[in-house]
């Protein structure tokens, strides 16, 4: 009830939610009854959960921020949602996002932007700005997001929250409306590292419905976070800092906060080691070929026949209806990426664009492999600037894309990354995050390090 009241009080300004559940209280009361009857429930039982609208749910509409899916009711729950329900979490509502998770500001939502609770004139990050803003504004204690190039970590950075992108395959993608299938991962957003770890424990693990789901047994992430909070884990930990990421690319307050966090780690016994990742800087360029290619293919299913919006074209052919429906149903950024993707995949260009991007992807993976032979984790600023103003980058896609310069390589390599608050930037008083990256399957290490810094 407290969260529903808070939503009623502030969401008119923040607009974190696209839909608020009308039966969350019933679900919560049912958990109370089960607990009263002596049932052993997990640590998150009864805790409200905000769910990014990219995740399908049977009891609330799922739009992925797009007009083409307005009002769409899924016949099944995403695996992560089913697991959250089974653990007793109480879905509060669906959160706003850039259309089909394309964006870094939530301004590309077909339903209007979300605002940053720290300053309502600024963006909450994206694409998962709704989940991060809901958590930052106390409209939810914890949330689910998805991260294809930074959509959990960059919103966490600009809202002073924690955001974790798990190892690729560590969390099921079943029921996460696909953006780029080789990059997408679902993960938690929260106010503390321990909260993210607890939710990650609930959603992790093999899912036969997801062909790329790992079969690994995962250690307890919550145990790792609790261990990390003692600070012991930092002694002797080797933290890599990338030589090719010069301070100059970052807002002064972001660079200063990053250096201050490194000093804190060092003071607690960590060793800072300079490493080289020469191909890291080509991540954004490779991503904007691989992502549109995969997205253009994934979005082909929105054909107005199977589901979603259908616009009638009197006297028109089925192709006319499909074309008109997609024209009306998709926003500009989605169309831009479909055009880029189909172009990059077309005969004669495939090798030059998509093929080259895949090679760059391999080089970035090798950079990470070489780095992790020397260090336990890599640290970077989570994003180059603090929250920018609404409207500031909306007409300049390249500037918008460059926001993800430090998060994108992590998705390209399939390794886990976490953004943890590292303070406020001196010049504007806005939150800044530090990103830690670990080798594949070492997600627990990130909770240990993140909790130690917190």
Stretch that binds ligand GLN, among 31-39, 142-150, 255-263, 356-364 (CB under 6 A): 142-150
Interface stretch with ligand GLN, choices 130-138, 145-153, 318-326, 343-351 (CB under 6 A): 145-153
**Residue 113 binds to ligand GLN (criterion: CB under 6 A):** no
Are the CB atoms for 125 and 156 separated by under 8 Å?
Answer: yes
Residue 151 is a binding residue for ligand GLN (CB under 6 A)? yes
Minimum CB–partner distance for residue 125 and ligand GLN (Å): 9
Catalytically annotated residue among 21, 64, 127, 213: 127
**52 counts as catalytic:** yes
Helix (H, G, I), strand (E, B) or coil at 154: helix
Residue with Cβ nearer ligand GLN (21 or 148): 148
Q: Which residue is nearest to ligand GLN (CB)?
A: 151
**Quick one: 2 or 398, whose CB is closer to ligand GLN?**
398
Q: For ligand GLN, which residue of 53, 147, 367, 376 counts as binding (CB under 6 A)? A: 147
The single residue among 106, 127, 382, 385 that binds ligand GLN, judged by CB under 6 A, is 127
Sole binder of ligand GLN in the list 64, 95, 104, 172 (CB under 6 A) = 104
Q: Which CB, 68 or 178, lies closer to ligand GLN?
A: 178
User: Any contact of residue 14 with ligand GLN (CB under 6 A)?
Assistant: no
Regarding 419 and contact with ligand GLN (CB under 6 A), the answer is: no
Nearby residues of 18 by Cβ (< 8 Å), 6 or more positions away: 53, 61, 63, 65, 93, 94, 95, 96, 109, 111, 130
Give yes or no for residue 102 binding ligand GLN (CB under 6 A).
yes
Nearest 10 degrees: CA dihedral of 27, 32, 36, 41?
A: 80
Per-residue buried b or exposed e for 156-195, using 16+ beta carbons within 10 Å of the residue's own CB: bbbbbbbbbbbbbbbbbbbbbbbbbbbbbbbbbbbbbbbb
> Is residue 151 annotated as a catalytic residue, yes or no?
yes
Phi, psi angle pair for 106, to nearest 5°: 65, 5
The answer to whether 83 touches 49, Cβ cutoff 8 Å, is no
Does residue 101 touch ligand GLN according to CB under 6 A?
yes
Residue 179 within binding range of ligand GLN, rule CB under 6 A = yes
Under DSSP, is residue 106 helix (H, G, I), strand (E, B) or coil? Answer: coil
Report if residue 404 touches ligand GLN, rule: CB under 6 A. yes
- Bridge partners of 20, per DSSP, are 93
Residue number, 147 or 443, with CB nearest to ligand GLN: 147
Phi then psi for 113, rounded to 5 degrees? Answer: -75, 160
Q: What is the Cβ-side half-sphere exposure of residue 221, based on CA atoms within 13 angstroms?
A: 32
CB of 103 to ligand GLN, least distance (A): 5
* Contact present, 57 and 78 (Cβ < 8 Å): yes
Looking at the Cβ atoms of 238 and 336, the one nearer to ligand GLN is 336
Sign of CA dihedral 347, 352, 357, 359: positive
Please identify which residue in 48, 65, 91, 103 interacts with ligand GLN, judged by CB under 6 A.
103
Cβ(259)–Cβ(379) below 8 Å: no
For 361-389, give the DSSP string.
HHHHHHHHHHHHTT-SEEEEESSSSSPPB
Minimum CB separation of residue 140 from ligand GLN in Å reads 20
Whether 301 is catalytic: no
Contact call for residues 20 and 92 (beta carbons, < 8 A): yes
Binding site for ligand GLN (CB under 6 A): 101-104, 126-127, 147-151, 179, 291, 404
List active site positions.
Answer: 52, 127, 151
């Amino acid at each position: 009830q407290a969260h529903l009241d808070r939503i009623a009080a502030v969401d008119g300004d923040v607009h974190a939610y696209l839909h608020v559940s009308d039966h969350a209280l019933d679900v919560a009361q049912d958990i109370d009854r089960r607990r009263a009857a002596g049932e052993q429930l997990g640590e998150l039982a009864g805790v409200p959960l905000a769910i990014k609208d990219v995740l399908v749910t049977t009891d609330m509409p799922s739009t992925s921020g797009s007009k083409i899916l307005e009002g769409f009711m899924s016949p099944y729950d995403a695996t992560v949602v089913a697991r959250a329900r089974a653990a007793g979490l109480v879905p509060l509502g669906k959160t706003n996002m850039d259309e089909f998770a394309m964006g870094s500001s939530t301004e590309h939502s077909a339903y209007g932007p979300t605002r940053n609770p720290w300053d309502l004139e600024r963006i909450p990050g994206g694409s998962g700005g709704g989940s991060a803003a809901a958590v930052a504004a106390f409209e939810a204690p914890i949330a689910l997001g998805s991260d294809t190039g930074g959509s959990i970590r960059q919103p966490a950075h600009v809202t002073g929250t924690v955001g974790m992108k798990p190892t690729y395959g560590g969390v099921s993608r079943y029921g996460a409306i696909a953006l780029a299938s080789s990059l997408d991962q679902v993960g938690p957003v929260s106010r503390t590292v321990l909260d993210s770890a607890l939710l990650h424990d609930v959603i992790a693990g093999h899912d036969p419905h997801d062909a790329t789901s790992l079969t690994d047994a995962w250690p307890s992430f919550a145990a790792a976070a609790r261990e990390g909070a003692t600070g012991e884990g930092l002694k002797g930990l080797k933290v890599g800092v990338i030589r090719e990421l010069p301070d100059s690319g970052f807002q002064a307050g972001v660079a200063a906060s990053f250096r201050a966090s490194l000093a804190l780690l060092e003071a607690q016994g960590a060793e800072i080691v300079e490493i080289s990742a020469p191909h890291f800087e080509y991540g954004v360029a490779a991503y904007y070929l691989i992502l549109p290619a995969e997205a253009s293919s994934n979005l082909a299913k929105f054909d107005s026949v199977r589901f979603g919006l259908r616009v009638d074209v009197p006297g028109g052919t089925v192709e006319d209806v499909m074309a008109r429906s997609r024209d009306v149903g998709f926003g500009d950024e989605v169309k831009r990426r479909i055009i880029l993707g189909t172009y990059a995949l077309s005969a004669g260009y495939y090798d030059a664009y998509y093929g080259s991007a895949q090679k760059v992807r391999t080089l970035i993976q090798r950079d990470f492999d070489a780095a992790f032979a020397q260090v336990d984790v890599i640290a970077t600023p989570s994003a180059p600037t603090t929250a920018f103003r609404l409207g500031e980058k909306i007409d300049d896609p390249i500037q918008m894309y460059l926001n993800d310069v430090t998060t994108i390589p992590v998705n390209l390599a399939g390794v886990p990354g976490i953004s943890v608050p590292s303070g406020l930037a001196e010049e504007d008083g806005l939150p800044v995050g530090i990103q830690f990256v670990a080798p594949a399957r070492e997600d627990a290490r990130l909770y240990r390090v993140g909790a130690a810094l917190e």
